Chains A and B, each alone.
Chain A
Amino acid sequence: MSEFDAIVVGAGPAGSSSAIKLASSGLNVLLVERADPPGSKNVSGGILWGNELAQIIPDWEKNAPLERYVLSKGTGLLTEDSLISIDFRSKKFEKNKTGYSVLRAKFDQFLANKAKASGATLVTGVTVDRVAVKDKKIIGVEQDGDVITSDVVILAEGANPRVAIDSGLRKPIGDRDVAIGIKEVIRLPEATINERFNLRGSQGYAGEYVLGFLPGGVKAGGFLYTNKDTISIGAVVNSADLRANNSTYSYNIMEQFVTHPFIAPYIEGGKVEEYSAHLVCEGGIRSVPKLSGDGYMIAGDSASLSFSNGLVIQGMNYAITSGIAAAETAIAAKSRNNYSADSLKSYDEKLASKYVLEDMKTFKGIEGVTWSNLMHKAVPKMAENIFFDLFYETGQPKRHLYEILLESTAGSGMTKSQLILEAYRAARRM
């Protein structure tokens, strides 16, 4: 007889969602979180997309600590001298809200408290070392030599999944699985943020940028999200290229982004409140480990369930969806009183039938595009050449766009045939 029906490791969006679903279905759940209070070790890229939370917290849009809803979605290419950007803003997003900026210390604490209110036992400041194994079956978790038993363990530890790795349930993280995320939270008056980003009330801006100005083959993306009276701004640095370069400090890339001539004005006069860093799952479907086995399931970032195509980064919605799917699987397993690998296999099937694995399979190889030389070096430079040529009045006869386009490829650092091949690959994968 186990002490708990389920133990959930990690009180982030995946773990707390799972615990809420489990506890509100009457299961005896232990939710273990190493941070105290929950959320105080968590960092997000910033936007919670979708409406998954409605399944477990119907009134979440009213009561969760949300910062602003995304009215305006920006995508930009930065070169040393230029910013080429698209700002898509729509009244349609007012009616059909698609994303909210959140600050995780507050947001995750809200979710963990919901889990507690649903009946889960929440333990904070406790670090699980590994899963406990008996007769090759997972029977709970181990902490400082003590074993706490449960019929099933759900690992939702985030992007640096020590328990899963140290228990041999997934391979150690490598350069191709993660990028290095670095972020600052900068305080500015609410009215200043509204003015700078052309927003009103709780309208928000979410921008993703290609940092095309980085020398030495280093690649990084940037993000900028408006909160109520702060701005979340950060860089996501490609690990493999940083290693190949081996002379650029990750934190200097962040500094280069926030001091870029067309980014700095957004945050000018603001007070840096917090600096943080966190891994970002970027490996796509190739990084996803075995999702379940005898007595366990892996959810959220721990299972590398995230999506990025360069235009949008999504993780929290995948975490919530997978956490709920793991809970549903555990509830069904309890009714069958069968927690074997076969019984829990329906977790994998659930994720395959939802958008989580579907997206990751559809966009297989997308990370090869988002981190390509085409996207990070050639396209920003070409775009700059084209627009400069189009808009700069020389007093000379004007040229056809086609000629400008052809000429712009010369400054891209790639040959024409390379460009055509890479563009074809990108179009196929996006």
Chain B
Amino acid sequence: MQIEEKLSLLNYKTDKGYEHITVKPDICAVCPDHFCTFACPASCYTLIEGKLNFKYEDCVECGTCFFACSHGSVAWSNPKGGHGVKYKFG
């Protein structure tokens, strides 16, 4: 089963007005490892034609990317107002 299919099973209450995680594109542009793309279990970080692409909508709020990035690009906060992932089983 592909990761995209697994993620599509999840429920989210997406906060359209607030990105709880942000990255600094200038840091990512010169990143030597892009470890975030391998570490993130929700595949929120991908390389598209060599350029880092980040989407917060699929985030499951595990916190992996915060320590995975050793270059200071990732700013991490919890979603607000009950937004974000909603597990039914956990």
Contacts and interface: CB of A to CB of B under 8 A. Distances in A.
Interface of A: 34-36, 39-44, 103-108, 124-127, 129, 144, 159-160, 162, 172-175, 177-178, 180-182, 184-185, 230, 232, 239, 242-243, 245-252, 254-255, 272-279
A203 to B, nearest CB: 21
Contact of A180 (B62, B77, B78, B89): B62
A278 B68 contact: no
B3 to A, nearest CB: 5
B71 to A, nearest CB: 12
Give the size category of B's interface with A: 35 or more
Given A159-B63, A249-B37, A255-B1, 19 more contacts: A34-B82, A35-B86, A39-B90, A41-B87, A103-B89, A103-B90, A106-B90, A108-B90, A126-B81, A160-B62, A162-B63, A162-B77, A239-B64, A243-B35, A250-B38, A250-B39, A251-B41, A275-B7, A275-B9
A126 B80 CA distance: 7
Contacts of A250: 38-41, 64
B81 to A, nearest CB: 6
Contacts of B41: 180, 182, 250-251, 254, 277
B33 to A, nearest CB: 5
A184 B6 contact: yes
A359 B85 CA distance: 34
Interface in B36-78: 37-43, 60-64, 66-68, 76-78
Nearest to A182: B41
B82 A248 contact: no
Contacts, number: 144
6 contacts: A104-B87, A124-B82, A160-B62, A172-B66, A239-B64, A242-B39
Contacts of A40: 85-88, 90
Nearest to B6: A275
Contacts of B76: 162
Contacts of B62: 160, 180-181, 277-279
Contacts of A184: 6
A172 B64 CA distance: 12
